[in-house]
């Protein structure tokens, strides 16, 4: 269903405003996208002026930036912890700008608009961008293998 984004039909006093013209096509909007955690699903849509927008319906990874070091890293999203826009969005695991997510490197706050831009960027709040738990275990296994090979020789 279409969303009409024209002027309100109510006055500040609560009275009715009578329109002097019909609704126009350029006053129509679209339903907002509720980005969730899952396999990546992007759709390009055409918008006014011949431009395109990329709608991100679901996403599995986010680009996390550490504000202290300036480093960025692609990280897996584990869950949505809180959403200042609406607590119900966090309960439904819906991601939008300002939401706090749990990733494999720590907590991060979303800085992009996934329903408008088609990407998911975030700033690290708590945690360390250097190593994730998955990378630590892989490195430990590699170190053990190297030690075993050195002992054999």
The pTM of this model reads 0.73
29-81 per-position pLDDT tens digit: 888 889 999 999 999 999 889 999 999 999 999 999 998 888 899 999 999 99
Phi, psi for 89 (deg, rounded to 5): -65, -40
Alpha carbon distance, N-terminus to C-terminus of the chain: 72
Provide the pLDDT for residue 40: 92
CATH architecture entry for 33-131: Roll (3.10)
pLDDT for 90-137, tens place per residue? 999 999 999 999 999 989 999 999 988 989 999 999 877 775 555 556
User: DSSP string of 119-146?
Assistant: --EEEEEEE-SS--HHHHHHHHHHHHHH
Instruction: Give SS3 for 88.
Output: helix
Residue 4 CB neighbours (<10 A): 11
């Amino acid at each position: 269903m279409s969303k009409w984004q024209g002027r309100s039909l109510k006055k500040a006093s609560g009275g009715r405003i009578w329109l002097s013209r019909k609704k126009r096509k350029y006053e129509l909007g679209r339903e907002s996208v509720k980005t969730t955690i899952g396999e990546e699903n992007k759709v390009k849509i055409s918008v006014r002026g011949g431009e395109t927008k990329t709608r991100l319906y679901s996403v599995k990874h986010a680009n996390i930036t550490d504000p202290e070091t300036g480093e960025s890293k692609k990280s897996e999203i584990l869950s949505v912890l809180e959403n200042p826009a609406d607590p119900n969005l966090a309960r439904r695991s819906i991601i939008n700008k300002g939401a706090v997510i749990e990733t494999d490197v720590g907590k991060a706050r979303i800085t992009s608009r996934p329903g408008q831009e088609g990407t998911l960027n975030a700033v690290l709040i708590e945690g360390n961008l250097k190593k994730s738990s998955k990378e630590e275990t892989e490195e430990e296994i590699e170190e053990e293998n190297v030690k075993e090979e050195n002992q054999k020789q």
